[in-house]
Chains A and B, each alone.
Chain A
Amino acid sequence: MVPAYIRKSVKALVMYDREFLKSSKKRATTRNLAYNDYNDYSDYSDYSDYSDYSDYSDYLDYSDYSDYNDSWATEDYVDRY
Chain B
Amino acid sequence: MQQLSLMMRPSGDGCNMRCRYCYVPGGDSPYVGLMKLETFQQSVRLALNYAKRNAPFNLEILFHGGEPLLWGIENYRKALEYISKLADGLKDGVRIRIKLQTNGTLLNDDLASLFGKHNVYVGISLDGPKEIHDKLRVYSNNKGSYDDVMRAVRLLRKHQRHIGAIMVVTKYHLGKEHELYNFFKENGLGLQPSPLIMWGRAKIFSDLYITPQEYLKFMRTLLDIWIKDEDPIDIPIFMKAVQAIVLEKPVSYCHMSIGCAKTRHFLAIDWDGTVSLCNRTASLHVPDFMFGNIRDVNDLEEIFTHPNFAKLVKRAETLRSTRCNSCPLYKKGLCGGGGGCPFLAYINGNLDAVPPSCEYEKQLIEMVIPYVLPYKKEAKNLLERWLENEGEKDSYL
Contacts and interface: CB of A to CB of B under 8 A. Distances in A.
Note whether A and B form a binding pair: yes
Interface of A: 2-14, 17-18, 20-22, 24-30, 32-37, 39-53, 56-57, 59-62, 64-65, 67-68, 70, 72-73, 77-78, 80-81
B116 to A, nearest CB: 9
Given A28-B95, A40-B121, A59-B331, A4 B164 contact: no
Interface of B: 1-3, 5, 55-56, 58, 60, 62, 83-84, 87-88, 90-99, 118-119, 121, 123, 160-166, 189-192, 211-213, 226-227, 229-232, 234-236, 238-240, 242-243, 245-250, 252-254, 257-258, 262-263, 265, 327-328, 330-333, 336-337, 348, 356-357, 359, 362-363, 366, 369-373, 375-376, 378-379, 382-383, 386-387, 389, 391, 396-397
A2 B396 contact: yes
Nearest to A57: B333
Contacts of B95: 20, 26, 28, 32
B90 A28 contact: yes
A10 B250 contact: no
B96 A77 contact: no
Contact of B93 (A28, A45, A51, A73): A28
A10 B386 contact: yes
Contacts of B397: 11
Contacts of B348: 80-81
Contacts of A34: 119
Given A24-B93, A33-B87, A8 B243 contact: no
A39 B243 CA distance: 14
Interface centre among B55, B331, B337, B348, by most A CB within 10 Å?
B331
Instruction: List the 6 closest A-B pairs by CB distance, nearest first.
Output: A42-B164, A24-B56, A9-B242, A43-B236, A41-B234, A60-B333
Chain B binding surface, main DSSP class: mixed
Nearest to B189: A42
B146 to A, nearest CB: 18
B252 to A, nearest CB: 5
B364 to A, nearest CB: 12
14 contacts: A2-B396, A5-B229, A5-B242, A6-B375, A7-B382, A13-B383, A28-B94, A33-B98, A41-B164, A41-B235, A44-B99, A45-B5, A49-B1, A65-B370
B190 A77 contact: no
A21 B248 CA distance: 18
Contacts, number: 232
Nearest to A43: B236
Nearest to B239: A9
Contact of B330 (A20, A22, A40, A59): A59
A44 B186 CA distance: 23
A78 B348 CA distance: 12
For the complex, would chain A's binding face be called helix, strand, loop or mixed by DSSP majority?
Answer: loop
Given A33-B118, A36-B162, A59 B333 contact: yes
Nearest to B333: A60
A36 B333 contact: no
Given A10-B382, A42-B190, A60-B332, A27 B92 contact: yes
Given A27-B91, A32-B96, A81-B212, A56 B333 contact: yes
Nearest to B337: A56
Question: Which has the most chain B C-beta neighbours within 10 Å: A7, A42, A62, A64?
Answer: A42
Contact of A35 (B119, B254, B356): B119
Contact of B379 (A2, A36, A40, A78): A2
Contacts of B379: 2, 6, 10
B392 to A, nearest CB: 11
Contacts of A4: 229-232
B362 A72 contact: yes
A43 B162 contact: no
Contacts of A81: 211-212, 348, 356-357
A68 B369 contact: yes
Given A35-B121, A43-B164, A47-B247, A2 B375 contact: yes
Contacts of A50: 249-250, 257-258, 263, 336
Contact of B252 (A27, A46, A60): A46
A35 B97 contact: yes
